[in-house]
Amino acid sequence: MWDYTDKVKEHFMSPRNVGEISDADAVGEAGSLACGDQMKLMLKVDEHDVITDAKFQTFGCGSAVASASALTEMIIGKNLDEVAKITNRDIADFLGGLPAEKMHCSVMGQEALEAAIQDYRGVTGEEMDSRKNVVCECFGVTSDEIERVVRENDLKRIEDVTNYTKAGGGCRQCHGRIQEILDQFAPTEEPAVLKPAAGKLTNIQKIKLIEETFEREIRPMLKADGGDIELIDVEGDRVVVSLRGMCSSCSSSSFTLKKYIEPKLREFVSPDLYIEEVKP
């Protein structure tokens, strides 16, 4: 379980400025329902470019709600040029810090603010899209977004980028491109990766490899959305698991099991494995 600061808990339990501004001067959106978090930020701006009101609507975890709530408190009463300098690190610091796995929530706040400012200044969707280059197809994360969080937060590893943006937390096909971006700022050695097992495995070896695959390949993605997985039993090629946290009640849990977790086990443990879920 993550260790949240009192301020994060406060902004989650009693969020500020939740709601909608029907005649908003600017609207910015970030995230997507597909990846589990989405934020809509609405602003009222006076003739001096000062934000007089800000409200948000957020779908996501407690850190997402807290980040959005904190952001509105940080920007109301300030000039657009001033708030344009706010980074995701500023949002996290305002909350007294966020767990590494939840830093993507502060990034979502920064991106929603940036989108709202662009909306107010008349930057069209086509102009914004022309500057974007999607690196992570699973979560729609662009090279611009990855480069910014790497630069502003001094990230060194692919795992760090996943924590801040979710990029690389799905099929992993974008890991090479993420590493290229990391190398532009701070060249590092390629991270160690699990290698598929070879030959016939004993049941003990199989269980050990399954647990290692969970820890390295699967848990980081599940924990990014407040979930987890527990190995219940292994009978031959049958792997029995139980999803925990948010994943246990997620409507797409069966899709996650069959289209993400099972292929990972077949890739890194044995091609004959199949997965079954038991409810806690």
Distance CA 211, CA 222 (A): 14
**pLDDT band of 199, cuts 50, 70, 90:** low
Q: Does residue 190 fall inside a structural domain?
A: no
Residues 141 and 238 in one domain: no
Asked if residue 191 belongs to a domain, the reply is: no
pLDDT given for residue 130 in this prediction: 45
Whether residues 92 and 151 fall in one domain: no
CATH at 252: 3.30.300.130
Q: Is 36 in the same domain as 93? A: yes
Is residue 79 located within the same domain as residue 44?
Answer: yes
Q: What is the pTM of this model?
A: 0.57
Instruction: Establish if 171 belongs to a structural domain.
Output: yes
Q: What is the Cα–Cα distance from 156 to 150, expressed in whole angstroms? A: 7
pLDDT at 82 over 90: yes
Query: Which of 125, 150, 173 delimits the end of a domain?
Result: 125
Q: Is position 197 within any domain?
A: no
- Write the pLDDT tens digit of every residue in 33-66: 666 688 999 999 999 999 999 999 998 888 999 9
Distance CA 219, CA 193 (A): 15
Are 50 and 121 part of one and the same domain?
A: yes
Whether 190 shows a pLDDT value over 60: the answer reads no
Assess whether 76 and 39 both reside in one domain. yes
Mean local confidence (pLDDT), 221-247:
85
- CATH number at 138 reads 1.10.10.1100
My answer on whether 102 and 159 are in the same domain is no
Q: Is 171 a catalytic residue?
A: no
Does 192 reside within a domain? Answer: no
Q: How many domains does the chain have?
A: 3
Boundary residue ending a domain (103, 125, 147): 125
Quick one: 142 and 78 in the same domain?
no
Q: Are residues 247 and 175 located together in one domain of the fold?
A: no
1 located within any domain: no
For residue 147, give its domain range: 132-185
Q: Where are the alpha helices (DSSP H) in 80-195?
A: 80-83, 88-94, 103-120, 125-129, 143-153, 158-165, 175-185
| Contacts with 212 (C-beta within 8 Å, 6 or more apart), sequence order | 194, 268
Residue 47's CATH number: 3.90.1010.10
Say if residue 155's pLDDT is above 80: yes
Alpha-carbon distance of 68 to 10, in angstroms, equals 13
pLDDT higher than 80, residue 127:
no
Please indicate whether residue 105 is annotated as part of the active site: yes
pLDDT-based confidence at residue 203 (cuts at 50, 70, 90): confident
The reply to whether 120 and 141 lie within a common domain is no
The verdict on 114 and 142 lying in the same domain is no
119 and 12 in a common domain: yes
Could you read off the pLDDT of 9-23 as tens digits, one per residue? 999 999 999 999 999
Q: Pick the closest to residue 179 from 156, 199, 198 (CA basis).
A: 156
In a domain, 48, yes or no: yes
Q: Is the pLDDT of residue 126 over 60?
A: no
CA distance 196 to 122: 51
Query: 175-185 and 158-165 helices cross at what angle (nearest 10)?
Result: 100
| Residue 2 CB neighbours (<10 A) | 14
- Tell whether 198 is covered by a domain: no
d(CA 97, CA 89): 9
Backbone angles phi, psi at 67, to 5 degrees: -65, -40
b/e code 250-278 from CB counts within 10 Å (16+ = b): beebeebbeebbbebbbebbbeebebebe
Which of these, 157, 155, 131, 127, lies nearest to 142 by C-alpha position?
131
What band does 132 get if pLDDT is binned at 50, 70 and 90?
A: low
Q: Which of 61, 105, 174, 247 is catalytic?
A: 105
Q: What is the pLDDT of residue 197?
A: 53
Mean of all residue pLDDT scores within the chain? 85
